[in-house]
Amino acid sequence: MRFTVAQVRTPLAGELRVPPDKSMSHRAVLFSAMAEGTSGLKGVLDSADVRSTIGAVRALGASVTLAPVADGSLAGTVTGWGASGPGSPDSPVECGNSGTTTRLLAGVLAGWPIRVELRGDESLSRRPMGRITGPLEQMGARFETADGCLPMSVLGTSEGLALEYESPIASAQVKSAVLLAGLRAQGRTSVTEPAPSRDHTERMLPLFGVSVGRAEESCRAWVDGPVIPTAAQVDVPADPSSAAFPAVAASIVPGSKVTLSHVGLNPTRTGFMLVLERMGVDLSIAVDDHGATEPVGTIVVSYRDRLVATTVTEQEIPALIDEIPVLAVIAAQADGVTRFEGVGELRVKESDRLQAIVDALSTLGVVTNVDGDTLEVTGLAGQPFSPAEGALFDSLGDHRLAMAWAVAGLACATPIAIDGFEAVEVSYPRFIDDMASIGAW
């Protein structure tokens, strides 16, 4: 699908409730499938990635009755396999484009004596799995991979070994995979990271009756096994990563004011908001409810003239890794050189996002520089982007790139087109309609 975006001539205005949180939706479905009993879920994101997790747990024996409701999310029940464990499927489990499905599921399966083959689409099949297979093999599981990538067979064990793992990277997927394997191991399994990463797993597991220890000052989390989760009730808030796109759009379109409601305000997910504030964006946050596991609130973003460059340090990156493409767009509109340090992880996301950002910003007339794992963007100080007539961008099948280039198109002197725009179905199926409702096109 090709989508065309033209410079918007009037301010963006209105209120949006962006789709449910993708990271939390994955976990709500997966933890319910692991649990004893029937869990009630609402606010689950209806997207391609989450559908992959739903299909995977069904293939492994969970009963899922989630169905669309009026607001476009999924609600219903999941009856888990509990103490009986997942079943051996007759065919490979398809994970689509979802790295979260693949990596977390590998941790779940590591503690059960079954063999399961995980497959993915072309993009997912290029993403490295060694970062999880390494520690999980230390816990007793075995893996057969295609040069460290999918397809991957998981050969679990009923005699899981507890592990004290010092992760070389801050990654919520790695941490979660190890902790989930630890639920089946004898003794304490811990993960220590070099910097804080998303902590949805640590926050949600207690809802399912699993005690999680945390030492925030040392970025360490642990579980004591063996333990079987029990059924819970989960209400998933709106996704802060999805909120980043209308937030940046309002920040670069003069006169705009956009309200984003019921957004998850987990501190490990709000790093991009701090960056926007440093750049001079008029942004206010009000916590409306602390919820069962996550704070939830309202974000109001208003345009302010003369945005300024900033430095995003390596320590900040884990809390905003998914927002870097759209943050690069606002950096390109700021005054000065914005530095993103320690962004090498972008090379192994759904696409090589680092190279994609460089290529796209160059097409927009923006100077960039990559030095090792540091990206520098020289902003245009509020001047419109200047792509050539008929400029065409490729989403590379990456939902966050597709949406980031659409936001950039609102500040382009000439219309641009984006190929592969259907990629937005992965996390934000209503993106075109929601942005239209606030005046983007």
Whichever domain contains 173, its CATH number is 3.65.10.10
Please name every residue paired with 374 in a beta bridge, in sequence order, or none if there are none: 371
Domain span at 35: 22-235
Amino acid at 327: L
User: Quick one: pLDDT at residue 289?
Assistant: 82
| Triad 238, 244, 246: Cα angle to 5° | 95
Structure tokens at 373: 């794992």
Structure tokens at 205: 């597991």
Q: Same domain, yes or no, for 15 and 40?
A: no
User: Quick one: pLDDT at residue 291?
Assistant: 72
- Which of 171, 206, 235 lies at the terminal end of a domain, its last residue? 235
Residue 348 is classified by DSSP as G
Q: Same domain, yes or no, for 172 and 194?
A: yes
Among the options 21, 322, 398, 434, which is catalytic? 322
- Which of 175, 205, 235 lies at the terminal end of a domain, its last residue? 235
CA–CA distance, 146 with 252 (Å, rounded to integer):
44
pTM of the shown model: 0.88
Answer yes or no: are the C-beta atoms of 173 and 185 closer than 8 Å: no
User: Quick one: pLDDT at residue 348?
Assistant: 85
Q: Same domain, yes or no, for 227 and 263?
A: no
User: Quick one: pLDDT at residue 213?
Assistant: 98
The yes-or-no answer on residue 71 being catalytic is: no
User: Quick one: pLDDT at residue 28?
Assistant: 98
User: Quick one: pLDDT at residue 293?
Assistant: 84
Answer yes or no: are the C-beta atoms of 194 and 165 closer than 8 Å: no
For the chain, list residues with pLDDT below 50. none
CA–CA distance, 222 with 125 (Å, rounded to integer):
30
| Triad 208, 214, 216: Cα angle to 5° | 135
Q: Same domain, yes or no, for 45 and 185?
A: yes
> Measuring CA to CA, which residue among 271, 199, 269, 264 is closest to residue 235?
264
Q: Same domain, yes or no, for 15 and 68?
A: no
CA–CA distance, 294 with 191 (Å, rounded to integer):
21
Q: Same domain, yes or no, for 338 and 246?
A: yes
Q: Which helix (H) or strand (E) holds 14?
A: strand 13-16
The DSSP line for 259-320 is: EEEEEE--TTT-HHHHHHHHTT-EEEEEEEE--SSS-EEEEEEE--SS-B--EE-TTTGGGT
User: Quick one: pLDDT at residue 153?
Assistant: 98
